[in-house]
Amino acid sequence: NITVQVGEFVSQSGVREGTVTVFNVGSTAGITTTEYEPGLVNYDLEACFEKIAPERGRYEHEKTWHDDNGHAHVRASLLGPSMSVPVVDGRMTLGTWQQIILVD
């Protein structure tokens, strides 16, 4: 959950109206919003990703680079590396249960 850090950045920037863009440099992690609730982030997301891109699956990427992180690249691709959040009156516009999370 990186919501607090992004919010502090917005506050310190002095920007009153606009957007803040959060971008992850790298290809094995993604940025999204969701309710940062232990069952969801520690189990449900992982269970979903395991069905779509299993950690022990076979990935052509691993043949090319001789590593074991093909699943992480696929998962990150599904989330995307960035997101933008509106800033209104110096504060991020997020829903009550919506936090910004880095999924790695």
Check: CB of residue 28 under 8 Å from CB of residue 73.
yes
Report how far residue 38's alpha carbon sits from residue 33's, in angstroms, rounded to the nearest whole number: 14
Under CATH, to which class is 3-103 assigned?
Answer: mainly beta
Of the pLDDT bands very low, low, confident and very high (cuts 50, 70, 90), residue 65 is confident
Per residue in 26-51, pLDDT tens? 999 999 999 999 999 999 999 999 99
**Least confident piece of the model among 29-33, 58-62, 77-81, 86-90:** 58-62
Task: Say what the pLDDT of residue 42 is.
Answer: 93
Give this prediction's pTM. 0.90
CB atoms within 10 A of CB 46: 14
* Chain mean position to CA 88: 22
Show me where the domains of the chain are located: 3-103
